[in-house]
Structure 1
Amino acid sequence: MSFRKYEEYKESGIEWLGEIPAGWTTQKLKFVARVQPSNVDKKSKKDEKEVLLCNYTDVYYNEEITADLPFMKATASDVQIRKFTLKRGDTIITKDSEDPNDIAVPAYVPQDLDGVVCGYHLALLRPGKGTCGGYLKRVMDTQYARSVFATRANGITRYGLGTYAISNFIIPFPPLEEQNQIAAFLDKETTNIDTLIDKQEQLITLLQEKRQAIISHAVTRGLNPNVKMKDSGIEWLGEVPEHWEVKKLKHIVTKPLMYGANEAAIDDDRDQPRFVRITDIRNNGTLREDTFRSLPPHLAKPYMLREGDVLLARSGATVGKSFIYSSDWGECCFAGYLIKASIDTSKASPYWFYHYTESDYYWNWISSILIQATIQNVSAEKYNNFSLFIPPKQEQNRIISYLDKETAKIDTLIEKCETAIELLKERRTALVSAAVTGKIDVRDVG
């Protein structure tokens, strides 16, 4: 769909913005909205009133702040409650982060939320007379806003936006009626785009479930439907082929399981060994390029990976996630929240074990370990006692070849869905930017 331009433009006087429609102005944020950095923290105090706290993650992960979000309980003073209770039309932005790219992430408040206050590490933008809150939120959605605030954030290991930087941010400012029209147009169009994104994400989920089902069946039942079976002795597994052997992980490795290097991921030197962290590993078993970090050779040496080494995440939200190293990735070492398993190829293929870590059986085992624990952690000792069923070498290779073929088909489909999502997100960003900067005229778009 193509959109017309405004009939007449003028110079905005701002390099990033260029020309704006002749009937628009530019304004500093402080002249069109009240900028209120919050000082309400998550600590509860006896002399204060109980409130619900809209915190950093509520804003970072949601387009809108609504009553059904799981707000945490806290307390606030009467002054804070009056100042920071969320009102219809408010926009909240993140103002502190360890990553400057996470500065000024916005969320919109579509309805009054009595009893919910804006929390620490956030700033509340309350539109003034003549300002549409929905339009203001869309301005904050633009890549320009993120880029400007990222450059104005102060800090070394943690970045923060001061009130001055936020208040003096210059925005394109059309008449109120046009602001309302632009906000309504973008609400409709972004909803349509988001619906398409949701459908692609649902398809990815179904494909991932199919992928896991294929792997789970192959590594616990094999490929021969007529093979004689036996009871595995494991409740959630059931029967396995009778001729398969059961072995614990500690009995099929060449050396004890090993924790990675407890070093800071600072360097980005392509001539040094890559420092593999759990955040680098994609769901399809590949490494992300945008998160590349390295270690100096003298630090990396004890933790270098060899062909077929399998890495296992030991804690946090990604516990259980796995990665198999190939020399195609170049020289790599691994980080402290990972555990290395070097499989004895005379006993099992590393790829057999790796595929096991993608199966329902493995993830049920991980869940059973976590149920017994107070924190999300699977130690090397626990991984040592993971039991897997191992067929003869030739059968392993046949099953691995089958899985490589079948998962490659599914991975290709998932990649197409991911590409479609990226294109939709790019269109969404471009459309918002074009509308709020006057590059397109959406006033009469139905």
Structure 2
Amino acid sequence: MVQYKRYERYKDSGVEWLGEVPENWSVDRLKSSVKSLKNGVWGDDPKGNENDVFCVRVADFNRNKYEVETEEFTVRNLGREKQKAFILKKGDLLIEKSGGGDNQPVGFVVRYNREEPAIYANFMARMHLNEKISCSNFFKYVHSSIYANRINVRSIKQTTGIQNLDTDYYLQEIVVYPTLQEQIKISEFLDQKTAEIDSLITDKEKLIALSEKQRQAIITETVTKGLDLDVKMKDSGVEWIGKIPEHWEICEFRRISTLQQGLQIAQEERFSEGGPGRFEYITIKYLNSLRTELDKEFIENPNKRVICYPEEILLARTGATGVVVTNIFGVFHNNFFKVNFNKSRIGRDYLVYYLKQVKIQEHFKLVAGTTTIPDLNHGEFLSTKCLIPPVSEQIQIVDFLDSCISDIDSLITEIKNQINKLKEYRQSLIYEAVTGKINVRDVAAGY
């Protein structure tokens, strides 16, 4: 990483998260940067008349660029006179006041950098900045550092099921103020450098996508064609499967498996902590990569038929139709099927790979329907075709795929680690620039 110069002299800011700051920078409350703050408005449903207006929602926050970004604005209806008090100006900052959660608390700030006239929803507040001492592009980065360091969390007033940000308290936080000209230079530097880092991240994310596509292709090719390139083939009779090795058996899942559907457990019967006699409750939330220990739920003394053991297979029926879950122990929700299979005819690991292949995943999504909540029913699953090689060949396929997938997964893990380091560097660079730990005033464009 590039080593940047420091300022000549520093002073103690008196604030722990800021530390030492350049001697000639002012130290003051966030409130000084803000000329006015006003809560948003939701308005009425659009009516197709002159009072219809674009409305910014929290969903329009680009949390990577700290800007409002959307392909299509929400339209609301608000009288023209009332609109005047809520119309955004280019450069206004918007702060999320209500909503959030443990993983993504309220207090995130974005800059409105659009030309379109728009109002803003009632879950946020608009900050007009004091332009004499505040560059909005610089302060979007200041707020991002406040958020990254979780300084905003101490201004959150938690109510039942929702977070609310006390903006008066939040604006009492201490930040530093370079000169206005220096703010502009720092923000231009950060615009350039964050864009460069984001480009690197995008390239690595594309590499992950290609690796995942390769993984899926290998699984699909192997569980439908086998490992012997010279084997004689036959028509499977199923369009989405195509030709298969001549000696492989093909049959409906109903011939080799049965399904057990889970249970919907009432919220009042769930516990937030485990303990003797309690089992983890496996819902679709289990598939969320951001899930934490705090998200876990438990139930007591369940019916044994809805307990899943690590060696068993769950298949998502709704919500994430066709997703396979293994190596878990707990009680499963009725959004899942447990797939019970004839172990003498098909091995567990081979079956898992077969259920993970692209072609059958696409088939399950197709037969689950295109309604608001797709639902894979028992009959559609049981009538789906399954390919069954000899058991000895299943073992060879599993060994081959285990080795290939392990290599690909290791590569993906390494790339993800690189992305995380880039993201950490990006946030560190922002923090160091807006708090004066590095001097970027004279860094030439393109450096």
TM class, shorter-chain normalised?
0.7 to 0.9
Relative to structure 1, the CA distance from residue 82 to residue 142 in structure 2 (aligned partners, 3 Å threshold; closer, same or farther) is same
3-state secondary structure, aligned to 1:14 = coil
SS of the residue 2:72 aligns to = coil
- Note closer, same or farther for the CA distance 1:288–1:357 as it changes in structure 2 (3 Å cut): farther
Q: CA deviation at 1:203?
A: 0.3
Residues 159 and 310 (structure 1), Cα distance of their counterparts in 2 relative to 1, 3 Å cut: same
2:13 maps to 1:12: yes
User: Which residue of structure 1 aligns with residue 390 of structure 2?
Assistant: 392
Identity of aligned residues (%): 28
**How many pairs align?**
436
Q: Report the equivalent of 1:438.
A: 436
Contact 1:86/1:112 (<8 A) preserved? no
Q: Judge conservation of contact 2:262–2:337 (CA < 8 Å) in 1.
A: yes
**Contact between 1:30 and 1:168, CA under 8 Å: does it hold in 2?**
yes
Deviations 1:136-184 (CA, angstroms, capped at 9, x unpaired): 1101211556612223222242112133234434332222111111111
- Looking at structure 1, the residues matched to 222 and 27 of structure 2 have their Cα atoms a distance apart, in angstroms, of 63
Q: Which residue of 2 aligns with 1:426?
A: 424
Distance change >3 Å, CA 358–CA 55, structure 1 → 2: same
Deviations 1:307-346 (A, max 9, x none): 4322222333x33222222xxx6x4333443332233312
Higher mean C-alpha deviation, range 138-147 or range 209-218 = 138-147
Q: Does the CA-based 8 Å contact 2:313-2:324 persist in structure 1?
A: yes
Q: 1:257 aligns with which of 260, 264, 270?
A: 260
The one-letter code of the counterpart of 1:244 is W
Task: Tell me, in whole angstroms, the C-alpha distance in 1 between the residues paired with 2:304 and 2:432.
Answer: 51
Q: Any conservation in 1 of the 2:318–2:375 contact (CA below 8 Å)?
A: yes
Cα 1:301–1:263 shift into 2, 3 Å: farther
Partner Cα separation in structure 2 for residue 167 and residue 289 of structure 1:
30
Measured on the aligned residues, the alpha-carbon RMSD in Å equals 2.9
Go from structure 1 to structure 2 and tell me whether the alpha carbon gap of 1:382 and 1:61 turns closer, same or farther (over 3 Å shift): farther
Q: Which amino acid aligns with 1:112?
A: E
Match of 1:219 in 2: 223
Task: Identify if the C-alpha distance between structure 1 residues 427 and 42 changes in structure 2 by more than 3 Å, giving closer, same or farther.
Answer: farther
1:204: which partner in 2?
208
Counterpart among 349, 362, 382 of residue 351 in structure 1: 349
Q: Which amino acid aligns with 2:261?
A: M
Task: Tell me, yes or no, if the aligned pair for 1:38 and 1:84 is still in contact at 8 Å.
Answer: yes
Equivalent positions of 1:26-425 (< 5 A) are 26-33=27-34, 34-40=36-42, 43-44=45-46, 49-59=51-61, 63=65, 65=67, 69-100=71-102, 101-114=104-117, 116-129=118-131, 130-142=133-145, 144=147, 147-154=150-157, 155-253=159-257, 255-262=258-265, 267-269=272-274, 273-281=279-287, 293-299=296-302, 303-316=306-319, 318-325=320-327, 331-425=329-423
Secondary structure of the 1:342 match is strand
Q: CA deviation at 1:409?
A: 0.7
Amino acid at match of 2:357: S
TM-score of the superposition, structure 1-length normalised?
Answer: 0.87
**Secondary structure, counterpart of 1:86 in structure 2:** coil
Letter in 1 for 2:93: T
Name the CA shift for 1:43/1:379 in 2 (closer, same or farther; >3 Å): farther
- Comparing 411-420 with 216-225, which one deviates more in the overlay? 216-225
Deviations 1:378-417 (A, max 9, x none): 3444333332212121111111111111111100100000
Give 3-state SS (helix, strand or coil) of 2:342's partner: coil
Distance in 2, Cα, partners of 1:151 & 1:223? 59
Cα–Cα, structure 1 residues 282 and 257, in superposed 2: closer, same or farther, change >3 Å? same
Deviations along 1:176-228, whole A, 9 cap, x unmatched?
Answer: 11111111111111111111111110000000000000001011111122222
CA distance in structure 1 between the partners assigned to 2:434 and 2:442 by the alignment:
15
Q: Is the 8 A contact 1:275 1:332 kept in 2?
A: yes
Q: Distance in 2 between matches of 1:281 and 1:207?
A: 21
Q: CA-to-partner distance for each residue in 1:48-103, whole Å, 9 max, x for gaps?
A: 71122221211155625467622222222324532333332223232222514331
Q: Deviation of residue 248 (structure 1)? A: 3.0
Q: Is the 8 A contact 2:96 2:106 kept in 1?
A: yes
Evaluate the alpha carbon distance shift between residue 321 and residue 348 of structure 1 in structure 2; reply closer, same or farther with a 3 A threshold.
same
Change (3 A) 1:199 1:389: same
The letter for the 2-side match of 1:96 is: S
What SS class does the counterpart of residue 102 from structure 1 fall into? coil
Between the aligned partners of 2:73 and 2:124, the Cα distance in structure 1 is: 15
Residue pair 2:321, 2:365 contacting (<8 A) in 1 also = no
Superposed CA deviations along residues 354-385 of structure 1, whole A, max 9, x for unmatched, are: 11222121122033225553433334443333
Q: Which runs of 5+ in 2 are unaligned?
A: none
Counterpart-to-counterpart distance in 2, 1:195 and 1:392: 48
Letter matched to residue 99 of structure 2: S
**Separation in structure 1 between the aligned mates of residue 63 and residue 367 of structure 2, nearest angstrom:** 29
Q: Does 8-17 or 132-141 show the bigger shift?
A: 8-17
Q: Is the 8 A contact 1:56 1:120 kept in 2?
A: no
Residues in 2 aligned to 1:165 and 1:69: alpha-carbon distance in whole angstroms: 34
Q: 1: distance between equivalents of 2:237 and 2:275?
A: 48
Distance (whole Å) between structure 2 residues aligned to residue 433 and residue 22 of structure 1: 17
**Contact (CA 8 Å) 1:60, 1:94: kept in 2 or not?**
no
Q: Is the 8 A contact 1:248 1:385 kept in 2?
A: yes
Q: For residues 120 and 382 of structure 1, what CA distance do their matches in structure 2 show?
A: 45
The answer to whether the Cα contact below 8 Å between 1:261 and 1:303 also exists between their aligned partners in 2 is: no
Q: Secondary structure at the match of 1:421?
A: helix
Q: Is the 8 A contact 1:280 1:291 kept in 2?
A: no
Worse overlay, 234-243 or 424-433:
234-243
Name structure 1 gaps, 5 residues minimum. none
